[in-house]
């Protein structure tokens, strides 16, 4: 599990990465758009960089196999 500060939607992202066969970032965005929208700040700015960083960080925390990590980063 991540040792960094938790963020809205973290549990959902971790579950997605652990349970889905297709672990693509695009797939996560499509399936959990409601969670992502609910996590937006009050200024309603879209923060793709934040969600991309969260995705990559959780992939690195969950998977020990570097081949898997590199394939999911693409």
Q: Which residue has the tokens 């990465």?
A: 17
Comparison of pLDDT for 4 and 49, the residue scoring more: 49
Answer yes or no: are the C-beta atoms of 12 and 20 closer than 8 Å: no
Q: Model confidence at 2, in pLDDT bands (50, 70, 90)?
A: very low
Binned at pLDDT 50, 70 and 90, residue 43 comes out as: low
Task: Confirm if 29 and 36 have CB atoms less than 8 A apart.
Answer: yes
| Residue 57, CA distances (Å) to 2, 18, 38, 43, 44 in order | 8, 14, 21, 25, 23
What is the value of pTM for the model shown? 0.72
pLDDT surpasses 70 at 45: no
Could you read off the pLDDT of 4-33 as tens digits, one per residue? 678 888 999 999 999 998 889 999 999 999
Q: For residues 28 and 16, is the Cβ–Cβ distance under 8 A?
A: yes
């Amino acid at each position: 599990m991540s040792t960094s500060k938790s963020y809205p939607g973290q549990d959902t992202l971790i579950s997605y990465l652990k349970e889905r066969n297709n672990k693509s970032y695009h797939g996560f965005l499509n399936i959990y758009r409601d969670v992502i929208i609910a996590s937006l700040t009050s200024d309603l700015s879209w923060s793709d960089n934040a969600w991309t960083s969260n995705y990559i960080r959780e992939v690195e925390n969950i998977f020990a196999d570097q081949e898997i990590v590199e394939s999911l980063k693409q």
